[in-house]
Amino acid sequence: MNHFLDINKTSQSDLRAMIDNARAMKDSRNGRPKGTPDDDQPLAGHMVALIFEKPSTRTRVSFDVGVRQMGGQTMVLSGADMQLGHGETIADTARVLSRYVDLIMIRTFEEQTLLEMAEYASVPVINGLTDRTHPCQIMADILTFEEHRGPIAGKKVVWSGDGNNVCASFIHAAGQFGFDLTFTGPETLDPEKLFVEEARAKGVNINIERDPMKAVDGADLVVTDTWVSMHDPQSARERRHNQLRGYQVNAALMDRAKPDALFMHCLPAHRDDEATSEVMDGPHSVIFDEAENRLHAQKAIMRWCLGA
């Protein structure tokens, strides 16, 4: 059973195959209208359940379009539609859905919901996001970097801001793809120690540097994410802004990175908070390539899950 739950739970060879497959599928669609099907239809006859306990733009659209381009069909379900884990148990939901569909993607809050879904489903399960990790996003980011700058192995990535779920998956990817990562942010928002130690054990450098200017010296890639969630109360938003204001990615910070350094943000962004519009719209930025590549990376992930 090929579940795609986290980057650190998937073999390096399989991850590399997915990135290469994503690039090939993207190249094959060059110049083709977005609504037309792929020449290869590996998901023909397959039904994919897309479960959203959290709202989504990029995840929902990219998975839905990707399934359709590959010849499959989707069933989009919200947390309100299902009352996941409130009425029927997650285990029973997984068993029932497995009788109807060939693949399940779930975007949820608690990691345990994802793990229980995968444990009891008899079809592959994909992690579309949890509060702890966001592996599909980072697969798109790896694809994006390599499109622009070649292999990411041995490069220096700097994460500025909150050591959140996206940061966690970037640390997983450092261990699996062989690049170094420096985290710069306040101590109260450090990434999870377990993930840092696991990546270091694979021979890559995972550094923590409180001074963002020092952190980005020699960086090949600078990455940030939103400081606040749409679910955070106003008091929490103000507290996070106070903690993170010094870690904004602006022109002065990018000037300390390599001249050809890239800038990424997984979106949605609060412009001129975590990153300035000057950087987001500037020559280093590849944020919209990154957003597009969610489609191609996730198509490759789905194919891998189904052995298609």
Q: Which pLDDT tens digit goes with each residue over 114-139?
A: 999 999 999 999 999 999 999 999 99
Q: Which pLDDT tens digit goes with each residue over 206-258?
A: 999 999 999 999 999 999 999 987 566 676 778 888 999 999 999 999 999 99
Is 294 noted as a catalytic residue in this protein?
yes
Type of residue numbered 95: R
Helix, strand, coil percentages for the chain (3-state, nearest 5): 45, 15, 40
Of 274, 210, 277, nearest to 237 by C-alpha is: 274
User: Which entry of 60, 107, 172, 296 is annotated as an active-site residue?
Assistant: 107
Q: For tokens 């700097």, name the residue.
A: 158
User: Which entry of 69, 137, 176, 298 is annotated as an active-site residue?
Assistant: 137
- Count of Cβ atoms closer than 10 Å to residue 41 Cβ: 14
Q: What confidence score (pLDDT) does residue 220 get?
A: 99
Query: 3-class SS at 168?
Result: helix
Q: What confidence score (pLDDT) does residue 43 get?
A: 98
Query: 3-class SS at 89?
Result: coil
Q: Are strands 156-160 and 221-224 parallel, antiparallel or unpaired?
A: parallel
Is 137 noted as a catalytic residue in this protein?
yes
Is 107 noted as a catalytic residue in this protein?
yes
Q: Which pLDDT tens digit goes with each residue over 101-118?
A: 999 999 999 999 999 999
Q: Is the pLDDT of residue 85 over 80?
A: no
Is 136 noted as a catalytic residue in this protein?
no
Q: What confidence score (pLDDT) does residue 230 get?
A: 56
When the pLDDT of each residue in the chain is averaged and rounded to a whole number, the result is: 95
Q: For tokens 């998901």, name the residue.
A: 43
Q: What confidence score (pLDDT) does residue 88 get?
A: 87
- Which pTM was predicted? 0.96
User: Which entry of 141, 162, 180, 225 is annotated as an active-site residue?
Assistant: 225
How far from 22 is each of 28, 68, 155, 218, CA to CA, in Å?
10, 16, 21, 29
Q: For tokens 């994410």, name the residue.
A: 225
Is 305 noted as a catalytic residue in this protein?
no
The two three-digit tokens of residue 195, written as one number: 């993930």
User: Which entry of 132, 284, 294, 303 is annotated as an active-site residue?
Assistant: 294
User: Which entry of 266, 284, 298, 305 is annotated as an active-site residue?
Assistant: 266
Q: What confidence score (pLDDT) does residue 232 get?
A: 67
Distance of CA 191 to the CA centre of its chain: 16
Is 12 noted as a catalytic residue in this protein?
no
